[in-house]
């Protein structure tokens, strides 16, 4: 008897392996014209796993204090064997993960994957996207370099504009009135304990929902598939889809490795809290659309402070996006075109203002 069959027999006897894995063997994934978009969620998951692994390696040498953080990252990059590569992979994977999470969100939007009964999958996904941005924001400060220091000052200043809770939020994020070593230690806590904990729980919920509800078929593709035989309408998850997914992970690993090795992540100069802010301070690219919008709004719009208005508008837009499945139901005709229109507008707005932010400086 082959070794695997014997192992399976043993596992089945002890733990009921066949019964445990039955859902996996029965699980199928729909096939249609746009089904390749289904790989994006999995690629985001892969990049998250890379983050966890490389983050743990960085933790072996990183020190979260204002006097040692910069030097410890410098040490990782110059003295630790392959330390530069691990740090570069961690930084590139963070950026790619946010990119693929955005792409996954938009693909789910255009393919109507958020609709009943998948409302909670969408909501958990949106919270995961916010958390991913939180990972980026908190991680950016950790090397304690000039750019990150001042970008964190600007970013937390903006958080301070939130009506009512702004002041409290600013002090909570900074661990005091100013960006200091206390902010660094706090951001470190967010980055390696709080955010990973919440993200793991939400990810488990997100994936359990996907598993429980199966993957959706876009409404536009349903009629077309009706006449097809079963084997052309769906493929088995195990091993057919899983092997394709692993190929997508392999490609993602290739892109990630090439970027990390050919364009190693820079460190810059150590932050000096007493120096004046250098020119061209800007946030990470995924915050640029908000940052640039706030820059473009006049100081006062009627009687309201311009920045406050911007913060309120983004807050409202984020909340509406989060709750989209509850008010954009397909049985209402206006929502069918409305959601696609809103998706195209959001994509164009984010791309346009981001590009403008880099060109205008
Ligand atoms: C860390 C971030 C995320 C990870 C790791 C993740 C992972 C996944 C995976 C593996 C799937 C199944 C395959 C697929 O449909 O692509 C999936 C499906 C789904 N995700 Fe995500 N996701 C994330 C973020 C998001 C975001 C930002 C949204 C949208 C707001 C979202 C909404 C959904 C929905 C609605 C489905 C079901 C799609 C369908 O049935 O057609 N996810 N996710």
CB atoms within 10 A of CB 245: 19
In 3D space, the residue among 102, 91, 88 whose CA is nearest the CA of residue 44 turns out to be 102
pLDDT in tens, 112-160: 999 999 999 999 999 999 999 999 999 999 999 999 999 999 999 999 9
Query: What SS3 state is found at 81?
Result: coil
DSSP line for 52-73: HHHHHHHHTT---STTTHHHHH
Mean pLDDT of the chain: 95
What pLDDT, in 10s, does the model give residues 47-90?
999 999 999 999 999 999 999 999 999 999 999 999 999 999 99
Report, as an integer, the average pLDDT of 269-294: 92
Q: Evaluate: CB of 114 within 6 angstroms of ligand 1.
A: yes
Secondary element (H or E) of residue 300:
strand 300-301
What is the best residue among 34, 108, 326 to mutate for testing ligand 1's pocket, by most ligand atoms within 8 Å of CB?
108
The finding on whether 41 has its CB within 6 A of some atom of ligand 1 is yes
Q: Is 112 in the pocket of ligand 1 (CB under 6 A)?
A: no
Give how far the C-alpha of residue 141 lies from the chain's centroid of Cα atoms, to the nearest Å.
18
Closest ligand 1 atom, CA of 37? 16
Ligand 1 pocket test, candidate residues 29, 38, 98, 104, most atoms within 8 A of CB: 104
Give me the percent of the chain exceeding a pLDDT of 70. Answer: 99
Contact 157, 122 (CB under 8 A): no
Given a contact cutoff of 8 angstroms between Cβ atoms, the answer to whether 252 and 130 are in contact is no
Q: What integer pLDDT is reported at residue 303 of this predicted model?
A: 87
Asked whether 166 and 158 are in contact (CB, 8 A), the reply is no
- In this structure, which residue's CA is closest to atom 28 in ligand 1? 125
Find the 247 Cα to ligand 1 centroid distance in Å.
18
pLDDT tens-digit series, residues 202-256? 999 999 999 999 999 998 888 888 888 888 899 999 899 999 999 999 999 999 9
Provide the β-strand partners of residue 29: 235
Q: Which two tokens stand for residue 264?
A: 């190693």
Could you report the per-residue pLDDT of 187-203, keeping only the tens digit for each? 999 999 999 999 999 99
Q: In the prediction, which pLDDT does 361 show?
A: 67
Residues 6+ apart with CB under 8 A from 28: 214, 234, 235, 236, 237
Q: Is 196 in the pocket of ligand 1 (CB under 6 A)?
A: no
209 within ligand 1 shell (Cβ under 6 A): no
Cα separation, 15 vs 22, in Å, equals 13
**Ligand 1 closest atom vs CA 113:** 41
């Amino acid at each position: 008897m082959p070794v695997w069959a014997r192992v399976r027999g043993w596992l089945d006897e002890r733990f009921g392996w066949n019964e445990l894995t039955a859902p996996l063997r029965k699980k199928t994934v729909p096939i249609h014209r746009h089904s390749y978009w289904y790989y994006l969620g999995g690629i985001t998951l892969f990049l998250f796993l890379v983050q966890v692994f490389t983050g743990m390696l960085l933790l072996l040498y990183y020190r979260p204090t204002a006097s040692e953080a910069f030097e410890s990252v410098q040490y990782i990059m110059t003295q630790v064997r392959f330390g530069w590569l691990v740090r570069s992979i961690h930084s590139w994977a963070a950026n790619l993960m946010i990119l693929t999470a955005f792409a996954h969100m938009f693909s789910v939007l255009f393919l109507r994957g958020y609709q009943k009964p998948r409302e909670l999958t969408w909501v958990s996904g949106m919270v995961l996207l916010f958390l991913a941005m939180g990972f980026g924001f908190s991680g950016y400060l950790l090397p304690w370099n000039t750019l990150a220091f001042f970008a964190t000052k600007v970013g937390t200043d903006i958080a301070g504009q939130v009506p009512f809770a702004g002041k409290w939020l600013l002090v909570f994020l900074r661990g005091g009135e100013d960006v200091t070593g206390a902010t660094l230690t706090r951001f470190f806590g967010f980055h390696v304990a709080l955010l990973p904990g919440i993200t793991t729980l939400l990810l488990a919920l997100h994936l359990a929902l996907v598993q429980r509800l199966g993957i959706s078929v876009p409404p536009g593709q349903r009629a077309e598939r009706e006449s097809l035989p079963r084997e052309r309408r769906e493929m088995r998850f195990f091993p057919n889809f899983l092997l394709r997914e692993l190929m997508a992970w392999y490609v993602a690993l290739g892109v990630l490795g090439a970027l990390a090795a050919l364009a190693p992540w820079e460190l810059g100069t150590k932050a000096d809290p007493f120096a004046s802010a250098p020119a061209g301070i800007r946030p990470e690219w995924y915050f640029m659309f908000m940052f640039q919008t706030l820059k473009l709004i006049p100081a006062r719009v009627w009687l309201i402070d311009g920045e406050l208005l911007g913060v309120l508008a983004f807050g409202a837009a984020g909340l509406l996006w989060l709750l989209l499945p509850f008010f954009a139901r397909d049985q209402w005709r206006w929502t069918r075109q409305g959601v696609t229109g809103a998706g195209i507008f959001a994509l164009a707005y984010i791309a346009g203002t981001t590009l403008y932010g880099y060109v205008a400086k």
